[in-house]
């Protein structure tokens, strides 16, 4: 009874922390600006308070690619509805105009980690309770986030990990923050993809959508040795093709601006 009451109180604290809800739904150019910790180092911030309605809203977006773009760009638990619409409409316009002339626009956006999945590590006692069906500290969160399944593969279980999969579209780097605070949990992490791949990177610059399409090849499991970029900017009359650049050739003037989304997505020597 005492342990159950402690768990309930702690979970209520997690879910009732007052935080600015707009951080989940809206973002702007400034949202993506880098900012370092204060003089005393990073300050712990509890995860934002959320409601079932917020989580359910993430399932209303029919265009998965645009939703993942918005979730990555705004760096929130769920996609921003406003940014989702902008990216969805912009992608449609871009591909309508350049589909045949510049095949790179056919490349689809790849989120950098498995959406809506996390790995959770448990203490010895918690993993034993889980195996026996007696671990309940995460029950309320599982309902809130629409848990689909918990996989306890032999290798994962030996390392005291479980893989949790959820319905809808949830940013794993933000989702994990809610679970790592639970009693019996020693850590939670996103499942990131290894290697490198072709991609199309969205950005909003001066309130205009930009896209940097990247065709990539050559040992991509180790990082893709070759890349060919194509840069597009939104204008009042539609999308303008700014230019292209291939690795190992002279860097064009537009690269300093055009690389912004690419360098926010990954670490690469061309971002130095």
CATH number at residue 128: 3.30.70.260
Domain assignment present for 17 = no
What is the CA 229 to chain-centroid distance, rounded?
22
pLDDT at 34 over 80: no
Whether 138 and 250 map to the same domain: the answer is: no
pLDDT digits (tens, 9 = 90+) for 229-268: 999 999 998 899 999 999 889 999 999 999 999 999 987 6
Whether 200 and 269 map to the same domain: the answer is: yes
How many structural domains are present in the chain?
A: 2
Taking alpha carbons only, the member of 253, 250, 234 closest to residue 89 is 234
Domain assignment present for 3 = no
Range of the domain at 142: 113-192
Q: How confident is the model at residue 154 (pLDDT cuts 50, 70, 90)?
A: low
Q: How many CA atoms lie within 13 A of 214 on its CB side?
A: 26
User: Which is it for strands 185-192 and 161-166: parallel, antiparallel or unpaired?
Assistant: unpaired
Domain assignment present for 21 = no
Across residues 72-84, what is the average pLDDT? 95
pTM of the predicted protein model: 0.81
Q: In this structure, is the dihedral angle defined by the CA atoms of residues 59, 61, 64 and 66, taken in order, positive or negative?
A: negative
Whether 129 and 156 map to the same domain: the answer is: yes
Taking alpha carbons only, the member of 165, 152, 153 closest to residue 118 is 165
pLDDT digits (tens, 9 = 90+) for 88-99: 999 999 999 999
Whether 98 and 128 map to the same domain: the answer is: no
Domain assignment present for 14 = no
Domain assignment present for 38 = no
């Amino acid at each position: 009874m005492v342990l159950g009451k402690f768990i309930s109180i702690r979970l209520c604290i997690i879910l009732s922390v007052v935080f600015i809800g707009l951080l989940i739904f809206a973002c702007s150019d400034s949202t993506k600006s880098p900012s370092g910790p204060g003089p005393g180092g990073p300050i712990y911030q509890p995860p934002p308070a959320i409601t079932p309605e917020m989580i359910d809203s993430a399932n209303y977006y029919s265009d998965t690619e645009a939703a993942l773009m918005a979730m990555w760009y705004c760096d929130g638990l769920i996609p921003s509805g406003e940014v989702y619409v902008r990216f969805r409409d912009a992608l449609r316009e871009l591909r309508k105009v350049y589909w045949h002339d510049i095949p790179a626009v056919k490349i689809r956006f790849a989120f950098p980690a498995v959406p809506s999945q996390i790995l959770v590590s448990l203490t010895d006692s918690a993993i034993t309770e889980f195996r026996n069906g007696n671990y309940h500290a995460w029950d309320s969160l599982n309902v809130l986030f629409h848990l689909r399944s918990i996989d306890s593969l032999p290798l994962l279980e030996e390392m005291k990990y479980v893989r949790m999969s959820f319905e809808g579209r949830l940013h794993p780097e933000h989702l994990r923050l809610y679970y790592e605070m639970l009693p019996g949990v020693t850590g939670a992490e996103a499942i990131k993809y290894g290697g490198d791949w072709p991609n199309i990177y969205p950005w909003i610059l001066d309130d205009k959508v930009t896209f940097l399409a990247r065709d990539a090849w050559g040992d991509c499991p180790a990082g893709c040795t070759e890349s060919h970029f194509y840069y597009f900017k939104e204008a009042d009359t539609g999308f303008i093709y700014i230019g292209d650049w291939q690795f190992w050739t002279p860097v064009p003037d537009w690269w300093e601006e055009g690389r912004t989304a690419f360098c926010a997505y990954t670490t690469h020597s061309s971002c130095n």
